[in-house]
Amino acid sequence: MRHVSTYMFLLLMVLVWTPGCSGDETPGETNDPTTTEDTSSDDADSTDPDDAGDDPSDTSPAEPEPEDIGDPCETDADCSESLFCEDSKCVAGRDEACSPGVPCAAGHNCVQTAAGASCLEICEETTSCRAAERCWAQGEGSLLGELGGHCFPNLCGPADNFGILRPAEFMGACDAAGTGDGICFGPIAESQLGPIGACMNASGEIAAGSPCDPTVTQADQAGLCAAGTCSPLNICATFCDTQAESCEAWADGTETSCQSLGDDELASDAGLCFPNPAAEEDSEDEDAADSEDSAAGDGEG
């Protein structure tokens, strides 16, 4: 059984497989300063007869860029799936795909990243971003897109030549909203930058096994998980090493074990403490047996 945040894992996998990140030259280009192009023979014939009568004073304005218009609406029901109605037009929400015809909701910009155009939340400080994100500075991470001033996954791992990854040891401390207040969970993917992870704020107050809200920002310490992350099950799960028996039972007595979230082909010891798959199967069998007994009892009555 594997519990994994689809958005986080796929986004990390896609955005780092970007041409150019490895520093290779673009085919066909050269940096040799001794190479020049002879254009002297073309100068005399470069005049286009059709341009001879052009008026040099013609300063017609360029075509304006298309505006984010959005389909008109009165309620959410008027919008297509994944969109909702805001200010009488259909808009895309956080992390959803966007385009000139599909604008983003208020407080978000449509940003072209290596993973495609999506609505990123505008920010000034990391405290306004979610646990696995940071507020990227202007010009930072330009290889991945215009991330400056937006919340985007807080990538971490061994220092890279482009300054995209927050330097940290995998499963060691990393800088989330402050200093050393996060865990560099990984590696979770291999990329042209090398192995990467995600720095997740793990300085919250919610205990493992307790309900959590994955949309909580880092300004709300009481809403963040302690020594773990809010899993896709909306339950806090503790970080763990799959090679060590480090998981403890939850407060309700549920036994847990360290389960890997990475690619099967990726050598990673990163995991989360989740209920034992065998225990869940036993619980399902017991529930099914109870249902059968109840049905049999009703039949006899």
Q: Which of 20-29, 148-157, 166-175, 261-270 has the lowest mean pLDDT?
A: 20-29
Do residues 2 and 261 lie in contact, with contact meaning Cβ atoms separated by under 8 Å? yes
Quote the CA–CA distance of 85 and 103 in Å, as a whole number: 11
254 has pLDDT over 80: yes
Cβ-Cβ contacts under 8 Å for 158 (sequence gap 6 or more)? 165, 167, 194, 195
Phi, psi angles (nearest 5°) of residue 194: 105, -170
| Whole-number Å distance between alpha carbons of 199 and 133 | 8
Q: Where are the domains of the chain?
A: 156-294
Burial annotation 55-81 (CB, 10 A radius, 16+ → b, else e):
eeeeeeeeeeeeebebbebeeeeebee
Give the predicted TM-score (pTM) of the model.
0.71
Q: Which range among 172-176, 263-267, 292-296 shows the weakest confidence by mean pLDDT?
A: 292-296
Strands (E), the chain: 83-86, 89-92, 108-113, 116-121, 133-135, 151-153, 155-157, 166-167, 173-174, 182-191, 194-201, 228-230, 236-241, 256-260, 270-275
212 contacts 227 by C-beta, under 8 angstroms: no
The CA-to-CA distance between both ends of the chain, in Å, stands at: 40
Residue 104: closest CA among 114, 116, 94? 94
pLDDT for res 46: 45
- Average pLDDT for 15-31: 37
| Distance between CA atoms of residues 241 and 100, nearest Å | 45
Average pLDDT along the chain: 78
Strands 173-174 and 270-275: unpaired
